[in-house]
Amino acid sequence: MPKISKKIEYFINPSRLIYLLELYKITRKDLVELLNLNKKNELRKSGLVDQKWINNVLDKKEKVSLLMLKRIDNIFNTGLSWLVSARALPPKNGSVFFRKKTFNSELDFNCRKIIDHFEKLKIETQLMTKYINYKPKRMLGVYSQDDNAVSVAKHISLNFFEKYRSLLEKNELKNPLCERDFLKNFMRTMEEFNIFVFERTETWNQKERLNIDGLFLNPNFILIKRNQKYFRREIFSLAHEFAHYLLNIEEIDNLKEEFSNSKLSKIEKWCNQFAFYFLLQDQVKNYENITNKNNSEEDINNIVAEIYANTHLSQRAIYTRLIIEEKISKAYYNKKVDELNKHIEQKEKDELLQKERNKALGKEQRGSAPKPIESKLFTELVKINYFEGNIAENKLREYLRIGAEKNINDVLYS
């Protein structure tokens, strides 16, 4: 007699699903819409659910099939057992989305997922530091938004770039030949102050994308998004998040031009001002000598060109700071921004035209996925934990992005 297969169904832990809805700031209606989409983001032809079904699931009036459980997990990536577990929920203060209600950025669902994943990486990193009894002591003071941002920037810049030059002299850093090289050195030097800095890269066809420039999470974790075309913008983003670290105030940032954004908080203005003066370095006096009364437009253009050539600040950042500090007129600022926008637009047109020419000539368009600048501090922490048996090989490969085809020894002893 053939066996009759019994359909396996589960009760979802309602508090856990509600926790996820609150974490990602989505409604029950939003969840229904997500569940009814297939992998191509098209409406499913069968197996559709409605809000009544969601309500019944959350009221424990209805079980869910294994297939539906997997569908929910595909949205949140928590693991099947997490959704049905009766164990206590993780503390809400473990997520920045519960510790802080508003951010300097509009965050969509996918962006929140990426940030939550980064915060989990932060927690795992903290565990690894405990496993090897490594206590990354804070080496820089905590400042207040009432402190003068310019004075703080000058003081921190002096100490920071003294360390930077020391690392260059010891050949622990290479002389930067381009903006990306400087960014890499910037990150490495921050690690000397026990700050973990991670860079995220994305491909054009990536489903889950960050719509932010960077973020800072207590106590010492920074994430910045690769800006492939404009590394000076990414450098400024890192300096801005460094300012949040100094203030010890968590934030998720989508940096906007301060002059055109009247809604910027006092904290964001402080961080922008710090970032600018921090990156000025030995060009501070040159910049401070600019005055609307004593300099002609030609003089200002020449000084801006000199600052641009000797720092890693963009022209837009320099002109924006000049208008904020009323060193130039609004009309002059608008004229310069318009010129910069036209230059960028023309450059993009020229690049597109060159691609079309290459295609017509049958030239192969080569391109590879951008690789993030790795955190040396994190890499060394992972290696030590692997050698001491605290993490398995699969976690080592995950953390250091080692493909299955690659021998781990090539990475461990490189």
90 confidence band (pLDDT: 50, 70, 90): confident
Residue 348: predicted pLDDT: 87
Q: Are 69 and 84 in contact (CB under 8 A)?
A: yes
- Fold designation for 7-78: 434 Repressor (Amino-terminal Domain) (1.10.260)
What number of H helices and E strands is found in the chain? 18, 6
Residue 246: predicted pLDDT: 99
**Quick count: other Cβ atoms within 10 Å of Cβ 27?**
11
Core vs surface per residue 55-82: b (16+ CB within 10 A) or e: eebbeeeeebeeebbebbeebbeeeeee
Residue 365: predicted pLDDT: 66
Indicate the domain borders of the chain: 7-78, 129-337, 376-412
Mean of pLDDT over the chain = 92
- Cα-Cα-Cα-Cα torsion 189, 191, 192, 194, nearest 10 degrees, comes to 150
Which burial class, exposed, middle or buried, applies to 2 when counting CB atoms under 10 A from its CB (0-12, 13-18, 19+)? exposed
User: Tens digits of per-residue pLDDT, 147-159?
Assistant: 999 999 999 999 9
User: Tens digits of per-residue pLDDT, 227-242?
Assistant: 878 899 999 999 999 9
257 confidence band (pLDDT: 50, 70, 90): low
Residue 5: predicted pLDDT: 47
pTM summary value: 0.92
User: Tens digits of per-residue pLDDT, 27-48?
Assistant: 999 999 999 998 888 999 888 9
- Contacts of 336-345 with C-beta under 8 Å, sequence gap 24+, read 340/315, 340/316
